[in-house]
Amino acid sequence: FAARQISQSVFGAVQRRTFSATASNATKVAVLGAAGGIGQPLSLLLKLNPRVTELALYDIKGAPGVAADISHINTKSTVKGYEPSGAGIKECLTGAEIVLIPAGVPRKPGMTRDDLFNTNASIVRDLAKAAADACPEANILVIANPVNSTVPITAEVFKSKGVYNPKRLFGVTTLDVVRASRFISQLKSTDPATENITVVGGHSGATIVPLLSQAGYTLEGAERDEYIKRVQFGGDEVVQAKGGAGSATLSMAMAGARFAESLLKAAQGQSGVVEPTYVDSPLYKDQGVTYFASQVELGPNGVEKIHPVGKVSEFEQGLLDVCLKDLKSNIEKGEKWVKENM
């Protein structure tokens, strides 16, 4: 079936309202870590997106195979796979408007996202260096965990090369919103496609703060606690179920493709495109929290407007207080590490 139909239907409410696809702009999108659990379905969804004209897939191994496979799909975009040898990452990144980074190891049962720090920090640092050199003006979408720390790491790399633009760096937290919306629809028997629960903070455990009150919902007692826990630890649910074979890949691919689609729509002139995302944010800078996820209006220059958190209940304020404490230390950890290991 038609690619356009898919991109209209899979991403949910935000896309559904205003989608009008044109592929008039030449748009190169690069995926780093393209042969992985997220990378493959994410690349597939991007191949189905008529806004993408060129797809550049990089991995330390396997990307040419993924590219050859995906390139047979009968949509117009061109696809090329890159490995460290040969043309490599530089050619992959040159001219990219969007760079998605799902490269890095996933969790196993019993691990926190922070347990991935030691391995993934250097992977993200090196990929950020390559992007800062080859496509300093691209939108960089960090998926690799721990997002709360890998985004500050990426920012410091770009700063060190004198090309940091806070409007172009995004931690992808879309999956938290997808989960929060799906889980409330299960409780309330509503259509999940029409739910759009705001989730703020960061992307791990207590830093994930769903703001149900803003959607007009009030849950109480055990029902509320279970809902909050499920949103905050939805990732663990998948890690447990996969029993050592990794973490969320398919739902994450959908969430990453949705975020990329929103950026492309905004870049191609659509106004009013709002997605939650973890960005360099003024909202809690006075408390030393320099990155924060909230609703962000996207535009041709990336971040157009960072929306404030807005009205929250007393209970949600309690969640926010815990979130800010954890976030601050996750951010500081990333910044300290990258300064010592640049």
Question: What is the rounded distance in angstroms from the CA atom of residue 27 to the CA atom of residue 92?
Answer: 13
Nearer Cβ to ligand LMR (134/248): 248
Residue 162, judged by CB atoms within 10 A of its CB (0-12, 13-18, 19+), counts as exposed
Q: Find the helix or strand (DSSP H, E) in which 31 lies.
A: strand 28-32
Residues linked to residue 32 through DSSP beta bridges, in sequence order: 58
Binding partner at 61 among ligand LMR, ligand NAD, none, C-beta below 5 to 8 Å by kind: ligand NAD
- Closer CB to ligand LMR, 26 or 241, in the complex: 241
| Partner that binds at residue 205, options ligand NAD, ligand LMR, none, CB closer than 5 to 8 Å by kind | none
Angle at 238 between CA 232 and CA 241, to 5 degrees: 135
Exposed/middle/buried for 71, CB within 10 Å: 0-12, 13-18, 19+? middle
List the one residue from 212, 252, 263, 323 that touches ligand NAD (CB under 6 A). Answer: 252
> What is the 3-class SS of 107-123, one letter each residue?
CCCCCCHHHHHHHHHHH
Q: Which of residues 152-181 bind ligand NAD (CB under 6 A)?
A: 172, 175
- Sign of the Cα pseudo-torsion (294, 300, 302, 303, in order): negative
Judged by CB under 6 A, the residue of 247, 262, 277, 330 near ligand LMR is 247
Shortest separation between residue 37's beta carbon and ligand LMR, angstroms: 10
**37 in a labelled binding site:** yes
Give buried/exposed letters for 208-247 (b at 16+ CB in 10 A, else e).
bbbbbbbeebebeeeeeeebbebbbbbbbebbeebeeebb
51 annotated to a ligand binding site: no
- Which of the residues 125, 203, 258, 265 is marked catalytic? 203
State the minimum distance, in angstroms, from the CB of residue 246 to ligand LMR: 9
Residue 10 in contact with ligand NAD, rule: CB under 6 A: no
**35 appears as a binding residue in the annotation:** yes
Looking at the Cβ atoms of 109 and 300, the one nearer to ligand NAD is 109
- In the complex, the smallest distance separating the C-beta of residue 113 from ligand NAD, rounded to whole angstroms, is 6
x/- binding map, residues 248-277, to ligand LMR, per CB under 6 A? x-----------------------------
Q: Residue 246 binds what, of ligand NAD, ligand LMR, none (CB under 5 to 8 Å, by partner type)?
A: ligand NAD
Catalytic, 203? Answer yes
Question: x/- string (CB under 6 A) for ligand NAD, residues 182-211?
Answer: ---------------------x--------
Token digits of residue 257:
């493709």
CA atoms within 13 A on the CB side of 155: 24
Q: Which does 33 bind (CB under 5 to 8 A by kind): ligand LMR, ligand NAD, none?
A: ligand NAD
Site map 13..52 versus ligand NAD, x via CB under 6 A: -------------------xx-xxxxx-------------
Nearest approach in angstroms of CB 143 to ligand NAD is 4
Pairing of strands 98-101, 28-32: parallel
Q: Are strands 54-58 and 169-171 parallel, antiparallel or unpaired?
A: unpaired
Using the minimum distance from each CB to ligand LMR, give the nearer residue, 27 or 232.
Answer: 232
Residue linked to tokens 């994930």: 208
* Dihedral Cα 136, 143, 11, 112, nearest 10 deg: -160
Residues that bind ligand LMR (CB under 6 A): 106-107, 113, 145, 175, 235, 238-239, 247-248
Residues with active-site annotation: 203
Which residues does the annotation place in the binding site for substrate? 107, 113, 145, 179
